[in-house]
Amino acid sequence: MDFSAVNWLAVIVAAVVAWLFGAAWYMGLSKPWLKATRLDPATMKRSLLPFIISFIAELIMALVMALVVGAMTGGEPTLVAGLVFGFVLWLGFVATTLSVNHRYEGFGWDLTLIDTGHWLGVLLLIGAVIGWFGAPVVAG
């Protein structure tokens, strides 16, 4: 793995953009999401930990996306490549995993649509940022 091909600024920006998107997504869909998860806001614990874990996960996703897109484009990421790989990784891993998990957990398709929609947006945004920023600038 060639970490020298990682644009670290792009990774950080992608994670921040993805995290902000998630905040907006779930604020906008909070009522249907709560209904789909069968959670009662009155009995939920309030904690910053899920928000911190989400950001760390999105940092890891952005790093992996940078490595994948960089490797598959010969070290020259593009916006289109980032979007394509964001979609393909979402379809191959996220949409399938959540669809299976939600069926075993007894949740309806409404939760699956909300959650997979969120992760589609996250991976498309991460891919777009990684591709848009391109390869790291090498001083010299």
Residue 130 has a pLDDT of 98
Contacts of 41 (CB under 8 A, 6+ apart): 34
Torsion sign (Cα): 106, 37, 52, 135: positive
Average pLDDT per 10 consecutive residues for the chain, totaling 140 residues: 88 98 97 95 90 98 96 94 98 98 98 98 98 84
Residue 5 has a pLDDT of 83
Residue 139 has a pLDDT of 62
* Other CB atoms within 10 A of residue 90 CB: 20
Residue 79 has a pLDDT of 97
Residue with tokens 């299976």: 100
The interaxial angle of helices 30-37 and 109-133, nearest 10 deg, is 130
Residue 138 has a pLDDT of 72
Residues 7 and 130 sit within 8 Å (Cβ to Cβ): yes
